[in-house]
Amino acid sequence: MRSKILQIILVIVFAIDLFFIFNNQPELRFFTKPLLLPILILVYVTRLKSEKIQLDKLFLVGLVLSFFGDLFLLFKWGFLPGLGSFLLAHLFYIISFKKKQQTRISEIWPVILSLYASILLFFLFPYLKEMKIPVIIYAVVIATMMYNAIKTQNRNLIIGALLFLISDTLLSVYLFLQPLMILNLLVMITYVLAQWFLVRGMLSSKN
């Protein structure tokens, strides 16, 4: 029951946050965006207790780091700290995924993910300026997270990782190429859904 209430609160806060994006009111997002991950963390912990699932501390650290990433990105000066927070979050997600039972997958996946990262960086490179190295590192890490999610064969983790990949791709276009409102909306929709599916994946995993 408590988990369902928290999920309803999450949906309400998320809808208000999207409304602020649509209305171009970034200053009001200080009251909504920083609440999203803490509520999701509460959903995760509450479900763990009710279903008697063991807490994955590494995954929890990843969620907390994502919260700091959300917070930093609200500030104009916060891109690098935000990028660093999400980079660390993905590393913790990767380690968490590696702890789970993994299966051999087609060797085509590293090729596909490397191609994705290469094409994205090719288009972004002229606009990155001093951000080239941090963005390259981030692209490698997010692709690695996707790869390890696929190896778990956990549908929710795979969907979550894929949505994260899409969200970060849209965010890079928004930040470096076209700061369109619709892109900002899509970034948040795919991002929150990504975290939601990752949480579902961790709750449904038996390993």
- In the prediction, which pLDDT does 198 show? 98
Q: pLDDT per residue over 176-196, tens digit each? A: 998 999 999 999 999 999 999
Model confidence at 207: pLDDT above 70: no
* Residues 113, 163 contacting (CB under 8 angstroms): no
Model confidence at 92: pLDDT above 80: yes
**How much of the chain exceeds pLDDT 90, in percent?**
88
Model confidence at 57: pLDDT above 70: yes
* Residues 160, 194 contacting (CB under 8 angstroms): yes
Model confidence at 139: pLDDT above 90: yes
Q: What is the pTM of this model?
A: 0.94
